[in-house]
Chain A
C-alpha cells in the first residue's frame, strides 16, 4: 500500500514535471584545491599573546560545495552544502555545513520573496558572494577570512529577504530588504524573541552599461540580560563596479560603529580590485584591502593587504590561478606576512 502511494506520487510528480518542465532535482557545485607557501610569521594567540611560526608549504582542498536545487513553477528551493576539509577550522574537518538553505517565491523579476538561511546582500561582495575566489580571479576581502565573523563586521546570515530588479527609464534598479535572527545571541536565548534581530537593506543603480553604484545599510542590536552588556552594530556600505570591455574595477567601502554599553567604536573595511582579461582566458589582477576595527583588542589595528595574481581559464567552468599576497599590520609585535598560492577551481 505504502509502495503504491509512493509510486502514484512519483508518477504524478513526473507527469507534472513533464508538463511544466519543472526541475525536480538539479545539482551543481564547485571545488577549490590549491597549495600555499606561507612565510615565517608572528600570530596573535588570545588577545595579548603572540607566537612565531615557521614558514611552511601546505596543500589544501579549500572548498567543496554542493548546490542542490528544485523548482516547481514559481517556487524554487536551493541549498549550498559545504564540506569542511579542515583548511579553515580543523575541528570541523570532515563535516558538512549547511551554508545556505532557502525557498523562494518569484512574483516577477521585480519582486521575489526568499526565506530560510541565506546570505544577506549587504555590499557588492556579499550580494554576489564570490564563494569560489580562485574561479573569479580575485581573493575575497580580508573581512571574509576565517575568524572575522566573530568581530561582527558583516551580516553573515539573514532569514527573510525581499528583493528584485527593475528598470526606471534607462536606469536599472536593484533593491533588497532583509532581516534575521542576528548575531551575538550565544548562550541562553532570552524570552524576548526580538532580542538580537537585525535589519538591512541594499539599493543599487546601473545608470549606464559601464557603471553600477550600490548602497547598503545594516543594524543589529543585542542585550545580554545576565551580564547587562548591550551591543549595537551599525554598518553602511558603498560600492562601485566599473566594467568596460575587458577592464573591470570593483571597489567597496564599509564604515560602521560598534556601540557597547553606550560607548561607540569606529571600524571600517574596503577593497579595490582591478582586473583585465585578455582573449577571454587570462586575467591579471591587483587587489588592495583595508581593515580597521577599534572595538576589539585583538583586531584593534589597521591591516592592509596587497595581492597580485593571474588567472587562466581554459574553459569557462575551470580556472587556474597563481597569486602573491602580503598582509601588512600596523600593530607592534605582529610582522607582515607573505603568501604564495596556486590553485585550481572547477564548477560542475
Chain B
C-alpha cells in the first residue's frame, strides 16, 4: 500500500515537472530585421545593459506584470536574477535617461498586441501558434523546435 502511494507521488511529481516546464519563445515585430539573438544579448536587453538594436533604434522591453510560469522560467533560465533586482536596475536607468519605462502587461494578448504595434519591441511568451503580426526569433541559432533550444 505504501509502495503504491509512493509510486503515485513520484508520478505526480514527474507529471507536475513536465507540465510545469514549458517552452518560452522570443517575439519581435515583423519589421524588426533581427531573426536570431544570443543568450547573452537577451540577458543584456532585459537587464537594460543593452539599450539599442544594431541600427541604433532604442529597444522597447516588454514584460509580464504578475508572477506567471513563463516569467519564472525566463528569469530563472535566462536572466538568472530576481525580478526585483532587474526592476531596480530599470528604475535607475529610467531616471538616468538610458531607457524608457518598460511596458508591463498582465496578459499574453496584451503583450502580443503591443509587440505587433511597436517596431522595436521585444517580449517573451509561452510557445503556441503566433499571429503573423509578430515574429518568433531564434536563440543562439536554435529554433524552439531544436533540442538544444535553451528556453525549454
Contacts and interface: CB of A to CB of B under 8 A. Distances in A.
Interface of A: 20-21, 23, 26, 28, 30, 65, 67, 69, 71, 73-74, 76, 78, 80, 100, 102, 106-109, 119, 128-132, 135-137, 165, 167, 172, 209, 243, 245-246, 248, 277, 280-281, 283, 313, 315-317, 347
B118 interface: yes
B94 interface: yes
B97 A100 contact: yes
A283 B119 CA distance: 36
Interface in B14-53: 40, 44, 49-52
Contacts of B81: 209, 243, 245
B13 interface: no
B1 interface: no
Given A106-B52, A280-B67, A246 B85 contact: yes
A128 B92 contact: yes
A108 B92 contact: no
Contact of A131 (B85, B87, B95, B119): B95
Contact of B104 (A23, A135, A283, A316): A316
Contact of A135 (B57, B91, B100, B120): B91
A21 B119 contact: yes
Contacts of A108: 52, 54, 56
Q: Interface size for chain B: under 10, 10 to 19, 20 to 34, or 35 or more residues? A: 20 to 34
B91 A73 contact: no
A130 B65 CA distance: 23
B97 A21 contact: no
B82 interface: yes
Contact of A316 (B54, B80, B87): B87
Nearest to B58: A71
Contacts, number: 90
Nearest to A172: B49
Given A21-B119, A316-B87, A28 B100 contact: yes
Interface of B: 40, 44, 49-52, 54, 56-58, 65, 67, 80-85, 87-89, 91-97, 100-101, 104, 118-120
9 contacts: A28-B101, A80-B95, A106-B56, A107-B56, A109-B51, A128-B93, A132-B95, A172-B49, A316-B104
A315 B97 CA distance: 21
Contacts of B56: 73-74, 106-108
Given A21-B120, A209-B80, 18 more contacts: A26-B100, A28-B94, A67-B97, A73-B56, A76-B58, A80-B97, A102-B97, A129-B92, A130-B92, A136-B91, A136-B92, A165-B50, A209-B81, A245-B82, A246-B85, A283-B84, A315-B65, A317-B101
A283 B67 CA distance: 17
Contact of A67 (B50, B58, B65, B95): B95
B49 A165 contact: yes
A347 B91 contact: yes
Contact of A277 (B50, B84, B94, B120): B84
A102 B98 CA distance: 12
Given A74-B56, A107-B56, A136 B88 contact: yes
Contacts of B120: 21
Contacts of B67: 280
A30 B96 CA distance: 12
B32 to A, nearest CB: 11
Nearest to B81: A243
A30 B95 contact: yes
A129 B85 contact: no
Nearest to A210: B80
Contacts of A20: 57
Nearest to A163: B98
B96 to A, nearest CB: 5
A71 B81 CA distance: 30
Contacts of B54: 108
A129 B96 contact: yes
A246 B119 CA distance: 33
A205 to B, nearest CB: 13
A128 B83 contact: no
B88 to A, nearest CB: 6
